Structure 1
Amino acid sequence: MLAYAAQGLSGDAGSQSGGQLRELLTRAATALDGLGGALASLVVEERLEPAARYRDYLAVVDRDARDSLAAIELVLAQPVISSQLVDNLNASMHLRALLTDLFLIDEILKSQPAAADHV
């Protein structure tokens, strides 16, 4: 997405990178749909403790994932996706919050002996 944003394109129609961008955004939307549930299942399967703290944090991750999904779906719904629009999406606090959420939970899970194999 950063490369597309840097191209200064007024739209995605007819460009190879535009098609790739829509595919990337579609795949991101698919991944975000259900991310919170997948992480919650991991906490249960791995019996991570304290479970209540994980559930509380995963509620934040789920909210940020849903907010990010809404932003991505709004961009995908546009007939034309410009580099500026993608630049604004990249700057979205919702996407940034989600990335930070995932970095944090990734580091925590890496330190868990049982969960380390699943990360």
Structure 2
Amino acid sequence: MSKSLHESIEVIESGYEFLLAYAAQGRESDEGPGGSEVRTTLTSMSKAAGSISADLSTDESDFGPVIIDDARKAGAAITLVLAQEKISSELVDNLNASIHLRALLTDLFLLSEAKT
């Protein structure tokens, strides 16, 4: 596994953990102390999803295209959240529950275990 792919996986996994904590805060928006970090985290996750797709574009396994598709879908969901004027805990909770983000996470867990 390339260093770039490993780093992107770490960004997605740690970002998801941050989003779980953010969702539990009951925030109405990302304004105020600590709120801006959610946009930074989501932006990093969006970039990581794109990087995962690029890193796996030459992967010849049957699973590579599955991860690429799930990364694209999760990236689209993250972009939708980033486009909102205010990012509430409820919005992030819905993103966390999204099958697209969960599919990508599960793909990455499987890939990490299979390639180690």
Fold in common (TM above 0.5): yes
CA shift for structure 1 position 17:
2.2
CA shift for structure 1 position 18:
1.4
The RMSD of aligned alpha carbons is 1.2
Write out per-residue CA displacement over residues 45-77 of structure 1, whole angstroms, 9 at most, x where no aligned residue: xxxxxx4xx1x2110000000000000000000
Select the residue among 88, 95, 111 that pairs with 1:105: 111
CA shift for structure 1 position 16:
2.7
Is 1:36 paired with 2:31?
A: no
CA shift for structure 1 position 107:
0.9
Is 1:7 paired with 2:25?
A: yes
Aligned length: 98
* Percent identity for Structure 1 against Structure 2: 51
| Largest Rg, 1 or 2 | 1
Consecutive unaligned residues of structure 1, counting only runs of 5 or more, are 44-50, 111-119
2-structure distance, mates of 1:24, 1:65: 16
Q: Structure 1: which 4+ aligned runs deviate by more than 3 Å?
A: none
SS of residue matched to 1:79:
coil
